[in-house]
Structure 1
Amino acid sequence: MKKIGIFYGTNTGKTEAVVDEIEFNLKKVDYETINVKNGIEKIKEFENIIMVTPSYGVGEPQEDWVKNLEELKKINFENKKIALVGLGNQFAFGESFVGGMKVLYDIVKENKGEIIGLTSSEGYSFEESEAVINNKFVGLALDENYQDNETPDRIYEWIKEIKK
């Protein structure tokens, strides 16, 4: 497997903890982790990419991702496999749960990237989410406020799938 680039943005540290769990499950796999507050230029160096963002407001990505969206829109993702992880609060923001992940999804799809790692929307309690297409999230959805006890197993199973 080629080296994986893990790109994330965080405000509170919850996303960083999720990234730590992803790294733990990628043992024996070559990866590099980049906080997008330092920019996203390195995305071009990877064919296998994991993008991680919490959602804020009405389904917006984390602020460091927002600052880099125009640059992200200029990247050609052809021949790249991208897996997405979204964090959100399904009860307080049930009408836009993990919507920030969908913003990244749309840009990657528009620029010819292959999205992998879609997950079932079963087991969550939210009103709606733009990040759900055909009953599947466009990546791994996590709720660190109300389902943090499920996060390690969800990440473990998801990593097993995307490693294929």
Structure 2
Amino acid sequence: MKKIGIFYGTTSGNTTGIVDEMEFYLRKDDYETFNVADGISQMKDLENLILVSPTYGVGELQADWENVHNEFKAIDFTGKIVAIAGLGNQFAFGESYVGAMKVLYDVVVKNGGKVIGFTSTEGYHYEESEAVIGDQFVGLALDEGNQGNDTPERIEKWIADIKPQFN
């Protein structure tokens, strides 16, 4: 498997904790982690990507992701395998839960990338989400405030599911 690039944005620090957990399950693999606040130029050089963003407002990207969004939209994702994880609050923002995942997903698909790591909506309690296609999230949906106890197991299973699909 070729190197995996983990790209994340964080405001409160919850996403950093999620990325730390992902790194634990990737510790035997070749990966590198990038905070998008420092830019995303390395993304073009990697074939395997994990994109992580919390959702703010009504299904919007986190501020650091928003700052690099125009550059992100210009990337050619052809030949890239991309997994997406999102954080949100399914009760307080149940009408737009993990909507930032769909924003990232749309760009990757439009620009030729293959998205992996869809997950079931079972066990979640939200009103609606743009990040759902059929009966699955377009990536790993996490709610640290309400289902934080489920996070380690969800990450472990998701990483085990996506690793064999990377180049």
TM-score, normalised relative to structure 1: 0.99
**What aligned pairs does 1:142-153 form with structure 2 within 5 A after superposition?**
142-153=142-153
Is 1:79 the counterpart of 2:79? The answer is yes
1:27 shift after superposition: 1.7
Alpha-carbon separation, structure 1, partners of 2:105 and 2:128:
17
Find the residue that maps to 1:147 and give its secondary structure. Answer: helix
* Equivalent residue number for residue 113 of structure 1: 113
Alpha-carbon separation, structure 2, partners of 1:18 and 1:79:
26
RMSD: 0.4
1:45 shift after superposition: 1.1
Is 1:32 the counterpart of 2:28? The answer is no
The letter of the residue matching 1:112 is G
Cα deviation digits, residues 64-90 of structure 1 (max 9, x gap): 000111101110000000000000000
* Equivalent residue number for residue 20 of structure 1: 20
Instruction: Specify every segment of 5 or more residues in structure 1 that has no aligned partner in the other structure, as ranges.
Output: none
Find the residue that maps to 1:145 and give its secondary structure. Answer: helix
Tell me the percent identity.
62
Is 1:131 the counterpart of 2:138? The answer is no
Alpha-carbon separation, structure 2, partners of 1:54 and 1:26:
21
Alpha-carbon separation, structure 2, partners of 1:48 and 1:21:
18
Cα deviation digits, residues 30-76 of structure 1 (max 9, x gap): 10000000111110110000000000000101100001111011100
Find the residue that maps to 2:97 and give its secondary structure. Answer: coil
Aligned length, in residue pairs? 164
Alpha-carbon separation, structure 1, partners of 2:109 and 2:69:
14
1:108 shift after superposition: 0.3
Instruction: Specify every segment of 5 or more residues in structure 2 that has no aligned partner in the other structure, as ranges.
Output: none
TM-score, normalised relative to structure 2: 0.97
